[in-house]
Structure 1
Amino acid sequence: MRALVLTAILLLASCAPAPDGAGLPLKVNSVTPKTTPLPPMKRFSAAPPPSGPLSNADLARDFLDLTFELESGRKIERLTRVDGPIRLRVAGPAPALLVTELRDLIGRLRSEAGLDIALTDGPAQITVNAISRAQVRRSLPQAACFVIPGVSDWTEFQTARRSGALDWTRLTKRDKLAIFVPHDVAPQELRDCLHEELAQALGPVNDLYRLPDSVFNDDNVHTVLTAHDMMILRLTYAPELSNGMSRAEVAARLPRILARINPGGARIPAHGQQDTPRAWIDAIQTALGPGTSDAGRKSAAERALRIARDAGITDHRLGFSHYILGRLNQGNRDFARAEFRAADAIFARSPSTRLHRAFTAAQLAADDIRRNAPQAALDRLAPYPEVAMAAQNAALLATLMLLQAEALDHLGQTDAAARLRLDSLGWARYGFGAESAVRGKADEVAALHVETAS
């Protein structure tokens, strides 16, 4: 299940005013007048995002923890996967882009994970159901999209849900699964849902916050399947494994499988990251989940930061704690800036968290512009459009480019700013979808200039 609130905090409100109303002015002149047509939407190729070397010791541990546990901590006693050739079909009012994105993803799964997977109009183990966003929210208010075992369509899901028959821990194999994705959302959200939910339909249904470079992580920093994720799926469908195997049986076979499919990984030392405390997970979910007051969110974020420090966690999870605390306290700019700087310093320790740094760069650069320091904003932002492009995150890429354009305007480089802003809007159409959302994002960033001038 892809989390809705967390995605919004990370991607859709990179410079948004604080929930309590402090921050940007409410009315600004539009930088993209309605009489000016938006440029065509841009989209990414199906090329895999770049990756560093992967340790076999880390992969084995990650695979076991992802495969034999649920997010709740409940144990899964046996390995399950789809037997034989994997076939998918699409049902419901699916836009053409859904099929295009799905074909691109299937191509990557075939080439990178070695899966025999294809779309079909006939019988299929996995059905991708295009439904409305309202249907998703009525069923699971906190979800952007989700995957369910043992059913094929919405009617079967509702019937099985009332009977209590849906339980991943009771599966013996995966011969019938339904993915539910909203057809009326931004293209990027649709694509992200396909990546995450198809990966979980095929393989692990768990998420681990300790993973810095994976969609199998509830922080939603990565939005398309990474090399790590493709390796996890390749392991899931290794011929040495089969449905019904226990954790111990799988663990005994993993070293030989990894030596075959990732021979260089034996020479790479394990990171040895500690498990994530359940209390930290609960605090983060409270800070970012539905049904919590602003004060409750801030308190939960503070609690998450304390737990991470007390547990001796020094990796991206500590940085994420600082980042979320900053996002939830943007009405207090000095406090929020200190938290973003703390997060950035932690993310800077590892090349695997460059994408994480792109998010903090957006926050800090927005504050630089507010503080009338446009050159500092440009210097800060310089490396990160390339990072966002490589990670195929159009919403983040467009935001970074809009911030750069705003900084250029502050420096009097209006022609360069106009060109960059126009270029950003093609990516914004993919990342944010509706024309009103695209223009709203551009106006939101432009409001930084209005605020400085006032």
Structure 2
Amino acid sequence: MINRLAALALTLLVACAPVQRDSALPTRAASIVQDLPPMRAFAPAPLVPPKRSNAEIARDFLDLSFRMESGKELPFMTRFEGPITVRLTGETSDQMLDDLHALLTRLRREAGINILMTNEDDASITVEAIPLNTLQGVAPRAACFVVPRVESWAEFSRKAGTSALDWSTLERRERASVFIPSDAAPQEVRDCLHEELAQAIGPLNDLYRLPDSIFNDDNIHTVLTGFDMLILRAYYAPEMRNGMTDAEALEVIPTVLARLNPAGRSISPQSRSATSREWIDAMATAVSSGSSQNRRRRAAQSAIAIGTDSGWSGPRQGFAYYAYGRLEVANDPQRALRAFDAAEALYRQSDNTDIHAAHIAVQKAAFTLASGDTDATLALTNAAIPVAEQHQNAALLSTLMMFKAEALDMRGNNDAADAVRLDSLGWARYGFGSDRNVQARLAEVASLRPF
């Protein structure tokens, strides 16, 4: 069982890393499902407003808007003025275009931003799709990124390393480019569109403390949330302007949030301390494939210790335990399971972290299925599947459904298993891309069944 759990742990990265494409993986699933159903995609979902205090969100707004991920402070706020136009270039696909149209519709409807598609060369924002290998030749750890003042990959290549690409030197935003992988799974491309386009027009920072935002390096949220739309709506509120300092924004943002989010006025704020650079660096090592497993485990343990000493009990500490559990599956499965249990307990403390708990469920389902515990596997998957669907994570959703199908099969409920498995494959085609990747994921889950 340990070897099978370890093998699956290498690929169950639906929240923390790009999906591996067309790798040499088991092919048992080819004998299970020969013809895959059409790819499925999510319908528009109702906006879910944030469930946190406006006082708390005001602090988040300032930290997101006046700092960068590196910790560098921005001297003043910058944004686009007037209508924002977006064009899509490079090695594009129909699904990519559909997802971009859907995103722009949401930004207009939910954030009140005047943003439209165009075919003109002078677009405010160029989204260019290029092969992942080309993109990672410049940014090895990035699945996608955004830069100011350029209109193409060619122009970016000429200006790389110059002050032209320094966000802190902007006085206003007039041009930006988002570079996304042309050969990634549809969900990965969509996720890039959401995060990078949001940063192209709005805040540039990510904050690990946020439980309900795509502006978080834990990558748990894959599409813009109600919190994110509120932040963007506030960013483009008439009370805000280019050139505002953080002190000036501090005077205005409480009034803006009171108008845009009246429900947040009556919620008590929770105290969340700043995230230390030491913790951020430890987590960067823990989730990076560029370090040895032992070093990554030590880094995750260090992050857990820092969080414990800081008295954290929210998404940061949960993520540290989650990362540590994934790293321990191949080394010490029981220790990994204890880490997943600790992460789940932290995530269950709040309604804002239900999708986080769903990610833990898929990890724990690997253990329960391998041990033959179908009751536990079904309980885990039945609870997490609606959450994954609500949060529009097809990779997570399809994997949970595959676990459920195997558990039903083990119970002898073959018709129900076949129906769930078939449904999972349409989502898997969106979440994992190529048919080969879908079949590989199906085989990985099936391989966990005890024989």
2:67/2:74 contact within 8 Å kept: yes
SS of residue matched to 1:199: helix
Q: Which amino acid aligns with 1:404?
A: K
Question: Is the alpha carbon distance of 1:195 and 1:186 closer, same or farther for their aligned partners in structure 2, counting shifts above 3 Å?
Answer: same
Q: For residue 5 of structure 2, what is the aligned residue in structure 1?
A: none
Q: Which amino acid aligns with 2:269?
A: A
1:12/1:432 contact within 8 Å kept: no
Unaligned segments of structure 1, at least 5 residues? 1-6, 17-25
Whole-Å separation in 1 of the counterparts to 2:362 and 2:287: 20
* Aligned-pair CA distance for 1:414: 1.5
SS of residue matched to 1:89: strand
Aligned partner of 2:98 among 97, 100, 109: 100
Question: Is the alpha carbon distance of 1:120 and 1:8 closer, same or farther for their aligned partners in structure 2, counting shifts above 3 Å?
Answer: farther
Q: For residue 298 of structure 1, what is the aligned residue in structure 2?
A: 297
1:277 matches 2:276: yes
SS of residue matched to 1:245: coil
Q: For residue 337 of structure 2, what is the aligned residue in structure 1?
A: 337
Aligned partner of 2:117 among 116, 119, 124: 119
Question: Is the alpha carbon distance of 1:35 and 1:262 closer, same or farther for their aligned partners in structure 2, counting shifts above 3 Å?
Answer: closer
* Aligned-pair CA distance for 1:48: 4.3
Whole-Å separation in 1 of the counterparts to 2:393 and 2:33: 28
Equivalences, count: 435
Whole-Å separation in 1 of the counterparts to 2:162 and 2:280: 29
1:10/1:221 contact within 8 Å kept: no
Unaligned segments of structure 2, at least 5 residues? 1-9
* Aligned-pair CA distance for 1:349: 0.8
Question: Is the alpha carbon distance of 1:29 and 1:157 closer, same or farther for their aligned partners in structure 2, counting shifts above 3 Å?
Answer: closer
SS of residue matched to 1:241: coil
* Aligned-pair CA distance for 1:159: 1.2
Q: Which amino acid aligns with 2:229?
A: M
Matches within 5 A, 1:306-345: 306-331=305-330, 332-345=332-345
Whole-Å separation in 1 of the counterparts to 2:374 and 2:33: 29
1:49/1:392 contact within 8 Å kept: no
* Aligned-pair CA distance for 1:310: 1.0
SS of residue matched to 2:14: helix
The CA RMSD measured in Å over matched residues stands at 1.9
Q: For residue 80 of structure 1, what is the aligned residue in structure 2?
A: 78
Whole-Å separation in 1 of the counterparts to 2:188 and 2:277: 28
Q: Which amino acid aligns with 2:447?
A: A
Whole-Å separation in 2 of the counterparts to 1:8 and 1:361: 15
Q: For residue 232 of structure 2, what is the aligned residue in structure 1?
A: 233
Q: 1:133-158, CA deviations, whole angstroms, 9 ceiling, x for partnerless residues?
A: 11111110100000001111011111
Whole-Å separation in 2 of the counterparts to 1:205 and 1:257: 20
2:326/2:336 contact within 8 Å kept: yes
Whole-Å separation in 1 of the counterparts to 2:427 and 2:131: 24
1:260 matches 2:259: yes
1:49/1:390 contact within 8 Å kept: no
SS of residue matched to 1:144: coil
SS of residue matched to 2:164: coil
Matches within 5 A, 1:40-439: 40-48=38-46, 50-122=48-120, 123-331=122-330, 332-439=332-439
Whole-Å separation in 2 of the counterparts to 1:364 and 1:9: 11
Deviation larger for 424-433 or 336-345: 336-345
SS of residue matched to 1:143: coil
Whole-Å separation in 2 of the counterparts to 1:350 and 1:273: 14
Whole-Å separation in 1 of the counterparts to 2:244 and 2:441: 49
Question: TM-score, with normalisation over the residues of structure 1?
Answer: 0.92
* Aligned-pair CA distance for 1:32: 3.4
Whole-Å separation in 2 of the counterparts to 1:79 and 1:48: 30
Question: Is the alpha carbon distance of 1:129 and 1:107 closer, same or farther for their aligned partners in structure 2, counting shifts above 3 Å?
Answer: same
SS of residue matched to 1:280: helix
Question: Is the alpha carbon distance of 1:199 and 1:288 closer, same or farther for their aligned partners in structure 2, counting shifts above 3 Å?
Answer: same
What percentage of aligned pairs have identical amino acids?
A: 46
Question: Is the alpha carbon distance of 1:100 and 1:187 closer, same or farther for their aligned partners in structure 2, counting shifts above 3 Å?
Answer: same
* Aligned-pair CA distance for 1:289: 1.9
Question: TM-score, with normalisation over the residues of structure 2?
Answer: 0.93
Whole-Å separation in 2 of the counterparts to 1:8 and 1:233: 34
Whole-Å separation in 1 of the counterparts to 2:289 and 2:124: 33
1:151/1:157 contact within 8 Å kept: yes
Whole-Å separation in 1 of the counterparts to 2:430 and 2:406: 21
